[in-house]
Amino acid sequence: MTAPSQRWAVARLGTAQTLAWASSYYLPAMLAVPMARDLGVATPTVFAAFSLALIVSALLGPLAGRAIDQHGGRPVLVGTNVLFAAALASMALAQGPVGLFAAWVLMGVAMGSGLYEAAFATLVRLYGQGARGAITGITLIAGFASTVGWPLSAWMEVQWGWRGACLGWAALHILWGVPLNGWLPRAQPPAQHDAPDTALQAASTPESASTANSSTTPQPGTPATTPPPNTLRSTVLLSFVFAVTWFTSTAMAAHLPRLLQASGTSLQAAVAIAALVGPAQVVARLLEFGLLRRVHPLLSAQLAAAAHPVGAAILMVVGGPAAAVFTVLHGAGNGILTIAKGTLPLVLFGPSGYGARQGLMMVPARVAQAFAPVLFGMLLDGVGAAAVWLTALLGAAALGALRALRPASTPHS
């Protein structure tokens, strides 16, 4: 496939992902309070329904990944636009907690088959080992989902109420999301796509690891792609890293302004500083697309994993004046780790069966994500800003797991 056609595919998929994230993951932050007030339930009940959706998405991830492996991403992603629209319309029609939870369960089905993991699997299905740049490209675009989604949800809520906002997002999925995903290229048959046609792909599959280690020596300055010898161990370590990343990302998405206030920042300043997360993610992804693309994805992931713990330590020592430093470091690290969720399984295990494997590895991450807002919120209520030590320690553990994954043959720069 030509470079211009790949760029157009990345632009369409990135825009569709922006819509998907803005209308699902980032929806409760703006609509939970009016939604709860109108339905006569407590605000935590709305977040509990959201957590249920995340658990449902964890269960659906492997099935969606397997479907993309077999049929390509276009039919799956177009179907998820319809599911997103149906879930949002059901939410708008809800008259009580039963309708609310039912709508969020349907939203969980859409999220499990229509967010980043499905998009990454779609790109790997289309481009194989050449998907790393494309994965970075869609995260560059969708990194602005909160920057676009939060103000747009707030504006629609003011104009039409929270029900009208849900219907507005539903209409966007049908009128905009379906065409964007429908214009994606058609995937090749699996037999053609999965045929090993490059040395990189051969070196990246577990079956060829021992042969590659015994017969070849990496050239100086060339990133090694040979996986660790124990595939199960590598899968468990990666699953842990992804679970920590999703827990921290979701906890910060739900509570970052409160955390910054607890560290000594005013409400107005906390909201303004929290808005730096999106730009920090995008700048870090540009760095990964430019400078860090020359190094092994494992090294860039290690640097990213260190960012949140370092920022948390600075915040706890300095307090409110370091709020912006912490926020930027957290956003930058999270931005690159989002890419790592797509590139590390590809580099370590190869493109064959990528979607199903990705879906399985993300199950613990989705479960951790589901409980993150409640657990971190309780800790924040109990100990204040010191709650950030939890995510800092988890980040340090994830860094250790990534260090343990480092192939023995990775060259030193």
pLDDT tens, residue by residue, 351-369: 888 887 877 888 888 888 8
Structure tokens belonging to residue 394: 């988890």
pLDDT above 90 for 289: no
* Element holding 140 (H helix, E strand): helix 132-142
pLDDT of residue 292: 66
pLDDT of residue 192: 45
pLDDT of residue 406: 57
Set out the domains of the chain in order of their start, with CATH numbers: 3-184 (1.20.1250.20), 229-405 (1.20.1250.20)
Whole-prediction pTM = 0.74
pLDDT of residue 121: 87
Q: How confident is the model at residue 8 (pLDDT cuts 50, 70, 90)?
A: confident
Q: How is residue 399 annotated by DSSP? A: H
The count of other CB atoms within 10 Å of the CB of residue 55 is 18
Burial 153-162 (b: 16+ CB within 10 A, else e): beebbeeebb
Q: Are 65 and 121 in contact (CB under 8 A)?
A: yes
Residue located via tokens 């800092």: 392
Q: Are 66 and 118 in contact (CB under 8 A)?
A: no
What's the rounded Cα separation, in Å, for the pair 409 and 236? Answer: 21
**What's the average model confidence in pLDDT over 302-317?**
93
What's the rounded Cα separation, in Å, for the pair 235 and 134? Answer: 23
* Element holding 6 (H helix, E strand): helix 3-22
**Strand, coil or helix: 104:** helix
The C-alpha torsion from 115 through 195 and 236 to 345, rounded to 10°, is: -50
pLDDT above 50 for 136: yes
Structure tokens belonging to residue 116: 């980043």
Least confident piece of the model among 125-129, 263-267, 288-292, 332-336 = 288-292
Question: Exposed/middle/buried for 119, CB within 10 Å: 0-12, 13-18, 19+?
Answer: buried
**What's the average model confidence in pLDDT over 149-171?**
94
pLDDT above 70 for 373: yes
pLDDT above 90 for 271: no
CA angle 219, 223, 224 (to 5 degrees): 85
CA pseudo-torsion sign 364, 397, 287, 318:
positive
**What's the average model confidence in pLDDT over 120-127?**
87
pLDDT above 90 for 90: yes
pLDDT above 50 for 46: yes
pLDDT of residue 214: 38
Stated length of the chain: 413
pLDDT of residue 73: 85
Kindly give, in sequence order, each residue whose CB lies less than 8 Å from that of residue 380, ignoring residues fewer than 6 positions away. Answer: 255, 258, 259, 262, 387
CA pseudo-torsion sign 278, 284, 287, 288:
negative
CA pseudo-torsion sign 355, 361, 365, 368:
positive
What's the rounded Cα separation, in Å, for the pair 183 and 206? Answer: 34
Model confidence pLDDT, tens digit, residues 183-193: 888 877 654 44
Averaged pLDDT of the chain: 82
Least confident piece of the model among 46-50, 65-69, 151-155, 219-223 = 219-223
pLDDT of residue 194: 46
Give the closest residue to 122 by CA, choosing from 87, 176, 78.
Answer: 78
pLDDT above 60 for 35: yes
Q: What percent of the chain has pLDDT over 90?
A: 36
Which is higher by pLDDT, 164 or 195?
Answer: 164
pLDDT of residue 322: 92
**What's the average model confidence in pLDDT over 162-169?**
97
Model confidence pLDDT, tens digit, residues 218-251: 343 334 444 444 678 888 999 999 999 989 988 8
pLDDT above 60 for 197: no
Q: How confident is the model at residue 308 (pLDDT cuts 50, 70, 90)?
A: very high
The count of other CB atoms within 10 Å of the CB of residue 232 is 8
pLDDT of residue 158: 93
Helix axes 363-383, 43-71, angle to 10 degrees: 160
Kindly give, in sequence order, each residue whose CB lies less than 8 Å from that of residue 222, ignoring residues fewer than 6 positions away. Answer: 411
* Element holding 87 (H helix, E strand): helix 73-93
